[in-house]
Amino acid sequence: MIGITGYGVYIPFYKLSRKEIGSFWGGARPPGEKAVANFDEDTVTMAVEACRDCFETDTAINIHSLYLSSASLPFAEKQNAVFVATALDLQRQTLTSDISGSLRSGTLGIHQAAAQCRQNPDGQALVAAADTRLARPSGSKEMTMGDGAAALALGSQNLIAEIEHSHCTYSEIYDTYRPAGDTYIRDFDERFSREKGYIHTMTTGIREALEAWNLQPADFQKLVVSAPNPAYVKKPLKSLGFDITQQKAEDPLFQATGFTGTAHPFLLLCAALENARPGERILWAAHGDGCDVFSLKTTEALGRIQKRRSIQELLESRSPTTYQKYLRWKNLVEMEPPKRPKQERASGIALYRDQKCGMGFFGSKCRNCGQVQYPVQRICMNCRARDDYEYYPLADKQGHIVTFSHDYLAVSPDPPTTLAAVDFEAGGRVMLDITDRETSEVQIGMPVVPTFRKFRLTDGIQVYWWKAKPFRK
């Protein structure tokens, strides 16, 4: 039996109130807010964070394949999944794949991952879903679309939820779409998208799945059904005979994150697994040019994996941002260029050479005296031993700020740039940019943790590197 062995979630620290958007444009001011990725975040960095969170729930993960699912990948030609695999320091033999072009990219990844697990029953597959989709400013979708990521690990051992059945249908329809090269998503017609693109597609797909599995609506204890608007869910489920109140079909995230695209079905499933009991059957469904439907059955192992830190706690760890910053972070307004010399193009050769220490964030640990150094040094600064070291991972270590500075002259979409010397508790001192911080709160002794972020972009070469962010429980 193939099923889910672990899960991880990433929700950006910054939230943008819908009232703030409405106030800027002078239109409607609906309640709630949406999650907004920082200027140094994208689908790759958020996927890395979700996968790292997934590792925390299952320390025995042995990955043989990695699928990165998104409708907003940063590179059109260059595999994006390899960035995630490198940051996670996965084995070179890991199968990596991008799955894009549909809001079902995440669940389509589940189909492929399950097939890989059947071929390789001793290992596990990892599916990460992340999105930072954009809608035109002042439109209704700008209010509702948020950023986020989640990851699911699949395997054949130590399952927390078995995949009992799966069903897949496609539908050629122009409802929500984005032509290649365009920045913003489009809707052919809002009513058409709702009635045909979502309600008809989901009703038909779920009905066909139940018939194929010989199951009834009453056989399910939980309903996890993703939708760009939570109100869309009621009509198809009620028409099929589900009790949406007793079976808990509500969306617990929309008011706090918005609709997070490809990641939303994953986030909803993770939220359901947090509160599920062993032996419950879950109907899990996602749409996008068709419909994917799964029947999941939770196991006794669920208790050992349920999160130490809940999604609700992640949502409470937040800071409001302004619409002005949102426009700047998303490059939605043309800004006056900085009066600085043009940046040199990043060296692809240097990035290739520095994969282990740079993207993987490995330092060196002296085998003779235990001194940790970053970057890797051939000669130990403590005992002077030469070439007697082992690679030492820093990405999972906590540290604290020793000293810092706020640079108001550095070019940044979110000035000032905060640079700090960070001492890691297990050893090692590294100079790191501090992100997701409130300038007034940064102080010596503040606990921080590493986070994978965008560093700089020159001539189409996106440099990813590690920064630090305040540790928040």
pLDDT (tens digit, 9 = 90+) per residue, 232-243? 999 999 999 999
pLDDT of residue 381: 93
How many CA atoms does the CB half-sphere of 311 hold within 13 Å?
27
Average pLDDT rounded to a whole number, residues 282-294: 97
pLDDT of residue 59: 46
Average pLDDT rounded to a whole number, residues 96-109: 96
60: pLDDT confidence band, cut at 50, 70 and 90? very low
Provide the b/e sequence for 321-343 (b: ≥16 CB within 10 Å).
bebebbeebbeeeeeeeeeeeee
pLDDT (tens digit, 9 = 90+) per residue, 294-351? 999 999 999 887 766 789 888 998 999 999 999 999 999 888 877 777 788 888 898 8
pLDDT of residue 61: 63
Percent of residues, the chain, with pLDDT higher than 90: 82
- R_g of the chain computed on alpha carbons: 23
**CB of 170 within 8 A of CB of 14?**
no
265: pLDDT confidence band, cut at 50, 70 and 90? very high
Strand stretches in 259-398, DSSP E: 281-287, 290-298, 319-320, 362-366, 372-373, 389-393
Question: Quick one: which H or E segment has residue 226?
Answer: none
Q: Which domains does the chain have, with CATH numbers?
A: 3-329 (3.40.47.10), 359-470 (no CATH)
Lowest mean pLDDT among 53-57, 174-178, 249-253, 357-361: 53-57
Residues with Cβ within 8 Å of 270's Cβ and at least 6 positions away in sequence, in order, are 7, 8, 9, 150, 152, 311
pLDDT of residue 57: 58
Arithmetic mean of pLDDT over the chain: 93
Grouping H, G, I as helix, E, B as strand and the rest as coil, residue 304 is helix
Average pLDDT rounded to a whole number, residues 132-150: 95
253: pLDDT confidence band, cut at 50, 70 and 90? very high
pLDDT of residue 58: 54
Average pLDDT rounded to a whole number, residues 64-91: 96
pLDDT of residue 276: 94
Residues with Cβ within 8 Å of 440's Cβ and at least 6 positions away in sequence, in order, are none
* 456 bridge partner residues: 463
Strand stretches in 299-361, DSSP E: 319-320
Total-model pTM: 0.95
Nearest partner of 84 among 70, 105, 103, 71, judged by Cα: 70
Lowest mean pLDDT among 3-12, 49-58, 395-404: 49-58
Residue 369 dihedral angles phi and psi, to the nearest 5°: -125, -10
pLDDT higher than 70, residue 117: yes
Measured distance CA(287)–CA(402) in Å, rounded: 49
Measured distance CA(282)–CA(269) in Å, rounded: 9
Lowest mean pLDDT among 125-129, 151-155, 218-222, 413-417: 413-417
Measured distance CA(146)–CA(32) in Å, rounded: 11
pLDDT of residue 165: 97
pLDDT higher than 90, residue 227: yes
Assigned token pair, 38: 């920082």
Provide the b/e sequence for 163-199 (b: ≥16 CB within 10 Å).
bebbbbbebebebbbeeeeeeebebeeeeebbebbbb
Average pLDDT rounded to a whole number, residues 214-227: 96
Residues with Cβ within 8 Å of 389's Cβ and at least 6 positions away in sequence, in order, are 364, 365, 366, 367, 376, 377, 378, 380
